[in-house]
Amino acid sequence: MSASLQLGRYAGIKVQIHWTFWLLFIFIAFLVFANDGTWIDLFWHSVFILALFLCVVFHEFGHALAARRYGIGTRNITLLPIGGVANLKEIPDNPKEELVIALAGPAVNVVIALLLYPFVPLDQFLIDDPELLEERLTGITSDNFIFYLFAMNIALVAFNMIPAFPMDGGRVFRALLATRMSRVRATRAATALGKFMALLFFLVGLFTNILLVIIAVFIWFGAHSENIAIQQLSLLEGNDVRDAMITDFTIIKPTDSLQNVIDRILESTEQDFVVAENENVLGILYMADLSVALREKGRDEVVENVMEKNIIKLNAGDPLPTAYKQLKRGNKNFFPVMENGRLVGVLDMNNINEFLNFRAAYDY
Ligand SMILES: [Zn+2]
């Protein structure tokens, strides 16, 4: 968290720069000076990178705002040296929605390119004299700056539309497949193509550009983990929360001291607790909050002052895939489960993972 520079919120979405982003400037400085460039050249290249990444931010906002239309929030937009990421809280099941969200990013760069077009002195670059052309295109200068920004926006569209799942083009590919076959099969096919493209990028990158190698690694692992998540979701299909919930759990009282809870944590495998009184669920005490409170207020503090009161309750009859998505959405993954107004269980990620392990073992 602290490794990212926060740039504030725009349209309610947090924008941040990952610390590795600054390595890009070292990389650029190296390239400029290796080609006998001057400090002025470095200045223009740096301004260009900033302008380009502003376009990338707009691209990510395209995804985020399209997702918002379908009620999907965005955790943050993060800038990395290899590009931007809009961290959506979930990927929609509906292929049409995924298609629109995936296309919205590149569409923004098309719009930027169209807006820049009238200002691009194209006649200076569409010439037959290769020597003069090379002179005008070598390095970034005030003369070719707009031309390069225009060209890079078109390149961004082209590159992102390569069907290397989970890049934009790969999502479009998956969404189109998913209109014809199950989402699980569509994802499996998109993942295979994505990994193949990643391998290609990796090999080409080894001989041309180190950034392409890094992108290849991101694509490979991105495709891999999203494929697994979809396969797991399909294993949960047809089950209720009741099937996976924990029924053997400790309820703590709002008046209990933190020391009581620590004792319980140490003698069991439980970490998070439902706080209730007379069958009335009042909140959840997360171990993460407990540790902080322990440092700040000591072990005699009562649970009531530390617990989270704004909580989501699940119903025993809720479909398990929905609960799983709910669990993945936040970073505190522990929910009380209710039935007819009574607390009957709790659900956390560990238990769903256990459930998945057993399902996988007897399904295949
Ligand atoms: Zn994109």
What is the per-residue pLDDT for 100? 96
Cβ neighbours of residue 180 under 8 Å, at least 6 residues apart? Answer: 186
Rounded distance from Cα 175 to ligand 1 centre (Å): 15
**Span 13-21, mean pLDDT?**
90
Side chain identity at 126, as an amino acid letter? L
Interior/surface letters 292-320, b for 16+ CB within 10 angstroms, e for the rest: ebbeeeeeebebbebbeeebeebebebeb
Rounded distance from Cα 109 to ligand 1 centre (Å): 10
Rounded distance from Cα 104 to ligand 1 centre (Å): 8
What is the per-residue pLDDT for 364? 46
> Minimum mean pLDDT among 44-58, 167-181, 300-314, 348-362: which range?
348-362
Rounded distance from Cα 57 to ligand 1 centre (Å): 10
Whole-angstrom Cα distance, residue 251 to residue 279?
10
Rounded distance from Cα 217 to ligand 1 centre (Å): 17
Geometric angle at alpha carbon 99, from 83 and 175, rounded to 5°: 105
Rounded distance from Cα 101 to ligand 1 centre (Å): 9
Whether 160 shows a pLDDT value over 90: the answer reads yes
CB 68 within 8 A of CB 89: no
What is the per-residue pLDDT for 67? 95
> Minimum mean pLDDT among 67-76, 230-239, 280-289, 352-361: which range?
352-361
The encoded tokens of residue 274 equal 């439902």
Rounded distance from Cα 214 to ligand 1 centre (Å): 17
Rounded distance from Cα 86 to ligand 1 centre (Å): 8
Mean pLDDT of the chain: 89
CB 343 within 8 A of CB 251: yes
Rounded distance from Cα 355 to ligand 1 centre (Å): 34
Rounded distance from Cα 169 to ligand 1 centre (Å): 8
**Span 279-308, mean pLDDT?**
89
Q: Which residue has the higher pLDDT, 32 or 60?
A: 60
Whether 1 shows a pLDDT value over 50: the answer reads no
**Tens digits of residue pLDDT in 166-214:** 999 999 999 999 999 988 999 999 999 999 999 999 999 999 888 889 9
Rounded distance from Cα 278 to ligand 1 centre (Å): 50
Whether 363 shows a pLDDT value over 70: the answer reads no
**Tens digits of residue pLDDT in 309-337:** 888 889 999 999 888 888 877 777 889 99
Rounded distance from Cα 209 to ligand 1 centre (Å): 20
What is the per-residue pLDDT for 55? 95
Rounded distance from Cα 105 to ligand 1 centre (Å): 5
Rounded distance from Cα 106 to ligand 1 centre (Å): 6
Rounded distance from Cα 66 to ligand 1 centre (Å): 12
* Nearest residue to 23 (alpha-carbon basis) of 210, 243, 255, 296: 210
Query: What structural domains and CATH numbers belong to the chain?
Result: 1-161 (no CATH), 164-236 (no CATH), 241-363 (3.10.580.10)
Rounded distance from Cα 298 to ligand 1 centre (Å): 47
Rounded distance from Cα 89 to ligand 1 centre (Å): 15
**Tens digits of residue pLDDT in 102-159:** 999 999 999 999 999 999 888 777 777 788 877 777 778 888 899 999 999 999 999 9
Interior/surface letters 327-342, b for 16+ CB within 10 angstroms, e for the rest: beeeebbbbbbbeeee
Q: Which residue has the higher pLDDT, 100 or 321?
A: 100
- DSSP E strand boundaries for 145-185: none
* Nearest residue to 186 (alpha-carbon basis) of 203, 173, 174: 174
pTM (2 d.p.)? 0.78
Helix (H) / strand (E) element for 361: namely helix 349-363
Q: Distances in Å between the alpha carbon of 41 and those of 26, 29, 51?
A: 14, 9, 15
Q: Which residue has the higher pLDDT, 55 or 83?
A: 55
Rounded distance from Cα 63 to ligand 1 centre (Å): 7
Q: Count the alpha carbons within 13 Å of 129 in the hemisphere toward its beta carbon.
A: 9
What is the residue whose two structure tokens read 């193509």?
A: 193
Whole-angstrom Cα distance, residue 197 to residue 199?
5
**Tens digits of residue pLDDT in 61-90:** 999 999 999 999 999 999 988 889 999 988
DSSP state of 284: E
> Minimum mean pLDDT among 55-59, 134-138, 355-359: which range?
134-138
Q: Count the alpha carbons within 13 Å of 56 in the hemisphere toward its beta carbon.
A: 25
Q: Distances in Å between the alpha carbon of 152 and those of 24, 155, 166, 306?
A: 16, 5, 21, 51
Cβ neighbours of residue 21 under 8 Å, at least 6 residues apart? Answer: 79, 80, 81
The encoded tokens of residue 281 equal 């669920």
Q: Is the peptide bond before 336 cis (omega within 30 degrees of 0)?
A: no
